[in-house]
Amino acid sequence: MKKYLVFFLLVFLLFLHKNLFFKPSIKNDQFSTILKEIKNKKYKYAIFDISCSFWEKSVNDLLSSYYDKEKKSFSFWKKISYSCTLAKLGVSFLFGTLDTKKAFLDFLSYFKGTKEQELKNACRKVWEEDCKNYIFVKAKKFFEACKNNGVVTILTDVCMRELYTGFCKEYSFDYLCTSNIEMRDGCITGNLIGEPCSGKGKYHLVKDLIKKKFGGSLKDAIFFANSYNDICLLEKVERPVVVNPISRKLKKIAKKRGWPILKFKELVKN
């Protein structure tokens, strides 16, 4: 009896040892596979969502950071109102009920009349103080592999274009698809030009860019994204890759369709 107990104890310990310390990482295997595909020039276009998948910061983090650079001109009650608006935006995003255009217009209403140069200065500070040191190592490796192998790189994210100026000086994307805010007489009007770069709006921006600029197709593209709003674009590309997903909806769909789900944590050391 003791022999059997010892035997089963040894088997159990071996199982724990193998699974806790030597379990192969499926995510790492997926990362290596995708990196190899890029180096083998399997894709002509690489589409990168930025928030939470290229850098650690979320859209909410960016808007909070931008507010921190501008809040000196806000009254007490305006600060409270803006904080509530951001909280509401974050909750609706998590629960999949976010109306992106309404949320963007609500955000812009607080900065109506801000001068264009003030906008640019604040966005530069957001990059330098709150984003520059939060780039994911693996995202950078994917990007560098694309640049080194002639893959057209496309940045696509929901925030205003000015927030990515500093980022794009270090990471030279070939094309940008972002939301664009309307200016009049050098000041923010509180409106958008066209639709925000999210959901179907993002899908059409990227699709039209590839078709009109290159006569190409999304079937030659790989797309890295983390938001449920990106499902319509993820469904159309040749290689959909889900990075750091937040919503259960996206995780569920990714697992059901066999899309890779990668978890990025390590940050680039500067």
Residues 6 or more apart whose CB falls under 8 angstroms from that of 158 comprise 51, 59, 100, 104, 178, 179, 196, 197, 198, 202, 229
Residue 159 pLDDT exceeds 80: yes
**What's residue 154's pLDDT?**
98
For residues 49 and 58, is the Cβ–Cβ distance under 8 A?
A: no
Instruction: For residue 110, give the 3-state DSSP assignment.
Output: coil
Confidence of residue 247 (pLDDT cuts 50, 70, 90): confident
Work out the angle between the directed axes of helices 26-39 and 137-148 (0-180°, nearest 10). 20
Q: Does 30 reside within a domain?
A: yes
Residue 196 lies in a domain: yes
| Rounded percentage of the chain residues whose pLDDT exceeds 70 | 87
- Highest-pLDDT range among 7-11, 84-88, 249-253: 249-253
> What is the tens place of the pLDDT at every residue in 10-42?
444 444 444 444 333 344 589 999 999 999 999
The CATH number assigned to the domain holding 200 equals 3.40.50.1000
pLDDT recorded at residue 76: 80
Question: Is 163 strand, coil or helix?
Answer: helix
Distance of CA 205 to the CA centre of its chain: 16
Task: Please report whether residue 124 resides in a domain.
Answer: yes
Separation CA 231–CA 226 (nearest Å): 9
Q: What is the pLDDT of residue 152?
A: 98
Question: How does pLDDT run across 165-189, given as a tens digit for each residue?
Answer: 999 999 999 999 999 999 999 999 9
Give the total number of structural domains in the chain.
1
Section 241-264 average pLDDT: 94
270 inside domain = no
**Interval 113-127: pLDDT, tens:** 999 999 999 999 999
Q: C-alpha angle with apex 139: 173 to 126, nearest 5 degrees?
A: 65
pLDDT digits (tens, 9 = 90+) for 61-91: 898 888 888 766 778 888 888 888 878 877 7
pLDDT of residue 235: 97
DSSP H helix total and E strand total for the chain: 11, 8
DSSP three-state, residue 221: strand
- Containing 257, the helix (H) or strand (E) segment is helix 248-257
The model's confidence at residue 94, banded by pLDDT at 50, 70 and 90, is low
Q: What is the pLDDT of residues 49-60, one digit of tens each?
A: 999 999 999 988
Position 26 scores a pLDDT of 41
pLDDT score, position 151: 98
- Residue 198 reports pLDDT greater than 90: yes
In a domain, 15, yes or no: no
Q: How far apart are CA 177 and CA 197, in angstroms?
A: 7
- Is 269 part of any domain? no
The boundaries of the domain holding residue 54 are 24-262
- Per the prediction, the chain carries an average pLDDT of 87
- pLDDT of 59: 87
For residue 117, what pLDDT is reported? 94
